[in-house]
Structure 1
Amino acid sequence: MPRYSLPAIVLHWLIALFIIGTFILGLVMTDIPGLSPTKLRYFSWHKWLGVTVLGLAALRLLWRLAKRPPPLPAGTPGWQQQAAHWMHILLYVLIVAVPVSGYAFTLAAGVPVVYFGVLPLPVFFGPDPVLKPVLREVHYWLDMSLAALVLLHVAAALKHQFIDRDGLLARMSPFGSTKEKA
């Protein structure tokens, strides 16, 4: 079965790991009461991971536009092909929208984003006490939507692996030959 190319596989798994880490860190940091040095450190790490996800997602999208993915296994029903197509589109949209909404929320809160504490990122607008709670909710719900979609994506991959036994999961596995690239 044709596999994804090595760059696509590496970007996929890096983005997945960073999204999981950012999500967990977001849950942990928001549960810390008050404004402690630990909480501030976690917020910085969360922002850095989010910016990294956005950069990696941009690379992944460019790669995806240049290289078509391998075809789905022969005999995959049309509805599953359409579901996979739309799920991937939604995943890409949310992988971009979540960090962008977090960035906007941070700016509305009046906190600049300084990548790795060294590189100040652009400030597109200043503090906005009206927009801040709206963007917080938008960021939260986009993030929860991404989490739900990632779980659905994983469930679909596992269904193909253990129920359909069609080898679909091997296309994106980091463990295996990438002789057939797509």
Structure 2
Amino acid sequence: MTLRITSLKNSVDRWGPVSQSLHWLIMLLILGMAVVGLSLDSLPKSPKYFWVYDLHKSTGLAVLALVVIRLAWRLYAGTPAPVAGTPVWQARIAAITHWMLYALILAMPLSGWLYDSASGLRPLKWFGLFTVPKLAAPDPAVRDFARAAHEWLFWVLVALVALHVAAAFYHHIFQNDDTLRRMLPRRGSSGSR
């Protein structure tokens, strides 16, 4: 039996498997990068540890590509309607939060890429496969701006993700609605809760 692309799209009441997979993959990659990123300043800047820096940078660029794919898929596959009974103000806040998350997830790797470029460091090879072009010539002012932006964007992202997770659990635990469940794979053969 062939799988049709329409079965992968989002439905009116839930996120489809492509959107779910991209959501959770991006989340896991960002979580891993956060752990590594927070420890980078404590590592010596020596050849022995360059692979950790390169892994962080390569993963960031992978997240950048995945979020672009996710946005393109969202435009193609549409989005589910708000859960029945959701007040309009909550639906608007959710929509604004989602777009802010997308913007931050795009801005974080771009600021890191700019920081790497303006630092004048050795060329970055994406997972060792190919050299990533520089966004700027070496420039201390641009480097310092990009580093500060990268750090501030990270903390704003942490706060927004905490709000996003708290809202999902609030809906799941206290409202007992499908807000969280519709971003999870269906259980059982019936596909209902």
TM norm structure 2:
0.87
Aligned to 2:9: none
In the other structure, the counterpart of 1:117 is 128
Checking the alignment, whether the CA contact within 8 Å between 1:9 and 1:174 is kept in structure 2 is yes
2:95 to 79, 82, 85: 85
* 1:28 paired residue number: 39
Post-superposition Cα deviations, 1:21-64, rounded to whole Å, max 9, x if no partner, equal 111110012222x3234532211110011011001101100001
Asked if structure 2 preserves the Cα contact closer than 8 Å seen for 1:3 and 1:178, the reply is no
Q: 1:108: which partner in 2?
A: 118
- Matching residue of 1:159: 170
Q: Per-residue deviation at 1:91?
A: 0.4
Q: How many residues align?
A: 179
Report SS of the residue matched to 1:136: helix
- Identify the structure with bigger relative contact order (alpha carbons < 8 Å, sequence gap 6+): 1
The corresponding residue for 1:50 is 60
CA RMSD of aligned residues (A): 1.9
Within a 5 Å distance, the mapping from 1:135-154 to structure 2 comes to 135-154=146-165
Q: Distance in 2 between matches of 1:120 and 1:107?
A: 12
Whole-angstrom CA distance in 2 between matches of 1:61 and 1:178: 29
Q: Deviations over 1:95-133 (max 9, x none)?
A: 100000000000010123210122111123211112111
Larger Rg: 2
Say whether 1:168 aligns with 2:174. Answer: no
State the Cα deviation string for residues 143-168 of structure 1 (Å, max 9, x = none).
11111111111111000000110121
Structure 2 unmatched ranges of 5 or more: 1-11
What's the CA shift for 1:178? 10
Contact 2:19 2:70 in 1 (8 A): yes
Deviation above 3 Å: which 4+ runs of structure 1? 36-39, 174-180
